[in-house]
Chain A
Amino acid sequence: MSVLIEYFLNITDLVSHELPHFEGLFSRRSLRRCVSLHCDLHGLEEGPADTAVLTRDQGLSYYRCMQTIRRMELKADQLYKQKIIRGFCHLYDGQEACAAGIEAGIERTDHVITAYRAHAFTYTRGVSVREILAELTGRQGGVAKGKGGSMHMYAPHFYGGNGIVGAQVPLGAGIALACQYQGNGQICVALYGDGAANQGQLFETYNMAALWKLPCVFVCENNRYGMGTSVERAAASTDYYKRGDFIPGLRVDGMDVLCVREATKFAADHCRSGKGPILMELQTYRYHGHSMSDPGVSYRTREEVQEVRSKNDPISLLKERMLSNNMASAEELKEIDGEIRKEVDDAAQFATSDPEPPLDDLCKYIYHNSPPVQVRGTNPWAKLQSVSSS
């Protein structure tokens, strides 16, 4: 199926005086480009609409979003190598189009849950780079006050950040059940990777979600490797979009933010109309290894990584589209890059200088809305008291 992407300029930009230096560059007509994009379908008569609109504002917004994620992840890489971040750190660079595209395809009031490669979604769901980096460095200014770390960051309508592979999928279906129960028209996007796709609890979840028509979009971010195991070595069927069996599925290019957005919109509409769950496979790639302890080259070649970087980078793809269609200038994008660099540097500065949580926090928030209980410390004389959240 080919998808036409229609580009045109936001008419207000033409009359805007905010960007006077671009007046001469933009055409006063809408520009159309035909781009053939592939979308595989399973159990569906039709897929996403074959036309999509990208406005200048949207393009800039997606660019900014993806570039911020990229810079944030690379900063985390740097801080990890300096031993300022410790423990687990699973980076998302290369996969930016998935997080940005999904957020663009859903409402703010919808719900998202993912696994441990979660920094990008924490950002797209509204947490600042500052609070994310400070959580990675384990400071009190972190989004989870230093209690959670890389894999346990939360925000309104964002449920982490989950460390146990596959566990987030039934949780996501449960969130969808709550949406259905409360009749609020919201949906839940439950993400997992190609490795988690082989977890039994996913199939239990598919069954119940389909049975009860839960408004859940299951998204498989297929980055070709589950830790060090390639998809061919892990799955009898690598058509992850078909693995939902009786659940309809679609597979799109996860490196193209517009494809992801359109597929997400389609999937969200499907759920919202009461048709039940749907499965979406995004074919994507991670530049880093599985985590910071994995150089990522023992099970794949450097050439492969380089090839994706040069030919299929999600940010470059969007940038080229916008430049070649005169939707933005190189200088403008460079200015955005500069702003992002500053934002991320400031965030890193905060993340390295903010104090660690006080020892008093040790026993805070074990429970919610609960009278204090005595908490046993490391020795019988260390009698601590819990403080609950409220």
Chain B
Amino acid sequence: MASLRCFLRSGKNAMAALQRSGFHSSAPAAVQMMVRDALNQAMDEELERDERVFLLGEEVAQYDGAYKVSRGLWKKYGDQRIIDTPISEMGFTGIAVGAAFAGLRPICEFMTFNFSMQAIDQVINSAAKTCYMSAGFQAVPIVFRGPNGSSAGVAAQHSQCFAAWYAHCPGLKVVSPWNSEDAKGLLKAAIRDDNPVVFMENELMYGVPFEMSEEALSKDFVLPIGKAKIERPGNHVTLVSHSRCVGHCLDAAAVLAKEGIECEVINLRSIRPMDTDAIEASVMKTNHLVTVEGGWPQFGVGAEICAKIMEGPAFNYLDAPVTRVTGVDIPMPYAKILEDNSVPQIKDIIFSIKKTLNV
């Protein structure tokens, strides 16, 4: 089933890659890469490119990363550049920010973003606000990265999505990749960015393979922060999503295509700054908007999109109110049946689209 899902998601990309490369007669050597390996490659390349870049966090060095994202980096770069920290989030996050003040370019890993709450003062008050408070004198080139949102069976304290929390704050950039290309291109961009970037990965995506174009495999493949990607064009309804839910949207779109409903699926890639123009342009074409996220509904990413659409030119093109598909407004339960029904499923997306289209 996983491989079928994989094909569903990557099918479009494979066709595009084939057409782009111009080899219509023989299949190109398509490289499959898992999201974790794309992240690994991004960090490896940036560590090599700039000696000021270093990684710190719990288990990032000798354990190869709690989720093996930093596998091999310690062996290659050593103690000075890949640093195992004690379990001291507030302390090591502050240390990372201080290092960024003084000329280094740290990558600060949170084992999951749930633990970032221990350190959130350093992220917001010491990192995000400093460039502004100092009138541009003190830049803070730092990346905070780690898995965000729900996983599988890890229960309430380990399943929260922090997209809305961090994206609320000026001074931060907040990025949420979906596939391997996103992961690599956006992480490289985040590391090269001179500002604090919150980079939200997803644990369930780490092991999912995607096709990587030749361009994406190159050492200078960088995606712009603040630009969304249209993963699938369509005319009837706009689906806007980020992270893992993008895959669910594409799956829902594939099912609906058989019924003659063509969904335009937008992968936000960046939550802050958000590519409002892309959403508006799409809505002005399709006249219907459905947002899909894993996080809670109140004050969330979908809520923000609704507000933005209301305030902009696309409002007059809506034939129906915007629909938000979100996680259920509860702490994440443990039992599988409950957990499965706490997050948007493909059937919820299909149902919501049909309601929005009134079909």
Q: Would you call B88 and A207 a contact (CB within 8 A)?
A: yes
CB of B21 within 8 Å of the partner chain = no
Q: Would you call A174 and B134 a contact (CB within 8 A)?
A: no
CB of B194 within 8 Å of the partner chain = yes
Instruction: Give B80-123 as 1s and 0s: 1 = Cβ < 8 Å from A's Cβ atoms.
Output: 10010110101111111111111110000000000000000110
Shortest beta-carbon distance from A187 to chain B in Å: 11
Shortest beta-carbon distance from B341 to chain A in Å: 35
Q: Would you call A175 and B135 a contact (CB within 8 A)?
A: no
CB of B131 within 8 Å of the partner chain = yes
Instruction: Give B132-145 as 1s and 0s: 1 = Cβ < 8 Å from A's Cβ atoms.
Output: 11111111110000
Across-interface contacts of A389 in B (CB, < 8 A): 131, 135-137, 139
CB of A233 within 8 Å of the partner chain = no
Q: Would you call B170 and A366 a contact (CB within 8 A)?
A: yes
Across-interface contacts of B140 in A (CB, < 8 A): 368
Across-interface contacts of A164 in B (CB, < 8 A): 121, 125-126
Known: A167-B125, A367-B171, A369-B194. A205 touches B94 (CB 8 A): yes
Shortest beta-carbon distance from A179 to chain B in Å: 7
Q: Would you call A152 and B80 a contact (CB within 8 A)?
A: no
CA distance A182 to B311 in the complex (A): 49
CA distance A167 to B94 in the complex (A): 7
CA distance A201 to B171 in the complex (A): 23
The listed residue (B98, B137, B170) touching A170 by CB distance below 8 A is B98
Q: Would you call B94 and A163 a contact (CB within 8 A)?
A: no
For chain A, which range describes its interface: under 10, 10 to 19, 20 to 34, or 35 or more residues?
35 or more
The listed residue (A173, A178, A368) touching B194 by CB distance below 8 A is A368
CB of A204 within 8 Å of the partner chain = yes
Instruction: Give A313-337 as 1s and 0s: 1 = Cβ < 8 Å from B's Cβ atoms.
Output: 0000000000000000000000000
CA distance A247 to B274 in the complex (A): 46
**Which residues between 14 and 28 of chain A lie within 8 Å of chain B, taking CB atoms?**
none
CB of B193 within 8 Å of the partner chain = yes
Q: Would you call B135 and A148 a contact (CB within 8 A)?
A: yes
Across-interface contacts of A380 in B (CB, < 8 A): 311
Q: Would you call A367 and B131 a contact (CB within 8 A)?
A: yes
CB of A41 within 8 Å of the partner chain = no
CA distance A140 to B133 in the complex (A): 13
Q: Would you call A171 and B103 a contact (CB within 8 A)?
A: no
Q: Would you call B133 and A171 a contact (CB within 8 A)?
A: no
**Which residues between 159 and 173 of chain B lie within 8 Å of chain A, taking CB atoms?**
170-171, 173
Q: Would you call B194 and A370 a contact (CB within 8 A)?
A: yes
CB of A358 within 8 Å of the partner chain = no
Q: Would you call B94 and A201 a contact (CB within 8 A)?
A: yes
Shortest beta-carbon distance from B311 to chain A in Å: 4
Across-interface contacts of A159 in B (CB, < 8 A): 98, 101-102, 138
Closest 3 CB pairs of A and B: A174-B98, A170-B94, A389-B136
Q: What are 17 A-B residue pairs whose CB atoms fall within 8 Å in the complex?
A: A144-B133, A154-B138, A159-B98, A159-B138, A170-B91, A170-B92, A172-B98, A173-B91, A178-B104, A182-B103, A204-B90, A207-B86, A208-B91, A364-B136, A368-B136, A369-B194, A374-B273
4 further A-B pairs in the complex, CB-CB below 8 A; given A164-B126, A205-B95: A147-B135, A160-B138, A170-B94, A365-B131
